Amino acid sequence: MNTQHPDTARPRLWTPSFCAVAAGNFLLFFSFYLLLPILPMYVGETFGADKSLTGMVLASYTIMALLVRPVSGYMVDTFPRKKLLLICYTIFMLFFCGYLLAGTLLLFTLIRATHGAAFGLVTVSNSTMAIDIMPAQRRGEGIGYYGVSNNLAMAFGPSISLYFYETLHAFTPIFMISVVTSFLGLCCVSTIKAPAKTIEQPSQAISLDRFILVKGLPEMLPVIFFSFAYGILSTYLAIYGRTEVGITDGTGLFFVIMACGLVMSRLRVGLMLNRGLVAQSIILGMAVILLGFGIFVIFRQPIGFYSAAFVLGFGFGTMCSALQAMFINLAPNNRRGTANSTYFTAWDLGIGLGVFIGGHIAELTSYANAFRTGLGVAMVGFLIFFFIIRHHFEANKLR
């Protein structure tokens, strides 16, 4: 009789290549999150832009990322993935240098928008590479742990950025750190040993299905609604804390607390996904996010501000891992790049709309109303998923 414990037969997840792709992802998002909380202040102080114009400038990054997502999925499924990843990562790194050269608002906007295109390419390339490296039996855990690298970047990036800004009252050191950390990330991903893979050249004419997972179009709706709320949260948090809550030097702590919730949720949701509880995980995450946003907009004191951080982190960590698994489960193995790009396309579209519309709402009324709008939009997304999308997913999933 075989008495071997079933866990001992599980394939290894934490290989050197998986560690390298996770470290590369952490450094990629660390350099990204370094700039995120200080850019609204940088655009306003350096170029004299008002709230509405600042929102438009910052939204250009996400809009360009959105436009290249479908193309990036096609490229990842068509060309050698490691070579493409190295090229995209290098371009992403070089654009950080451009911020130091932008002397006008127009030039800054052009650099910011083009950098968004590079971000769209490199994130799809890196996440698809990570899924290739994960053993299929542990993909739920792998997606969760891979997401932890994003969450740690979310914790340390804004915190360090705001610390340097509040201490030095200078933006240049923050841009320089982004250049260095993205270079280190490039060094990490260059060590990945990609699995042998034959890239299939499409024999049929180019169609929409080569660029976006048509089967997953309905699933994009709740992603857009929740990322709309996240776009407002991540972009205008520092200004909201300062103007609405009276927190002048502790916004970075919000991201640290939020990341604690994110990490805790990622470690738990991976096991749920391995058991096939994808839709249930999404519903749980969405419900927790709505609770967190409710605390955030109702209790406009420091205790409510920081309490909401953990709740929102736990909710987004649970939901996002499950949403990505949902798109992967809708696609055949040779369409992983397209599935990833479809998920990121929806996420970027929602964030772009959140940043743009949130900026206009804040300009016309207040940042508090912008966050209330985010809560309302997220509630609509929850209702759409609960009553419509989860049934569509269960009927069309491949695994």
pLDDT tens readout for residues 296-334: 999 888 899 999 999 999 999 899 989 989 999 998 877
Q: Residue 395 pLDDT more than 80?
A: yes
pLDDT tens sequence across 216-235:
999 999 999 999 999 899 87
Number of helices (H), then strands (E), belonging to the chain: the values are: 14, 0
As a whole number of angstroms, the distance between CA 252 and CA 151 comes to 14
Q: Provide the pLDDT for residue 241.
A: 86
Q: Provide the pLDDT for residue 218.
A: 96
Q: Residue 250 pLDDT more than 70?
A: no
> What is the average per-residue pLDDT within 74-91?
90
Mean pLDDT of the chain: 87
Residue 301 or residue 279, greater confidence: 279
Chain centroid offset of residue 63 CA: 14
Q: Residue 201 pLDDT more than 70?
A: no
pTM of the model: 0.79
Q: Provide the pLDDT for residue 341.
A: 86
Q: Residue 93 pLDDT more than 90?
A: yes
As a whole number of angstroms, the distance between CA 318 and CA 22 comes to 18
Q: Residue 258 pLDDT more than 60?
A: yes
pLDDT tens sequence across 58-73:
878 878 888 888 888 8
Angle between helices 217-240 and 367-384 (to 10 degrees): 160
What residue ranges define each of the domains in the chain, with the CATH number in brackets? 11-195+210-396 (1.20.1250.20)
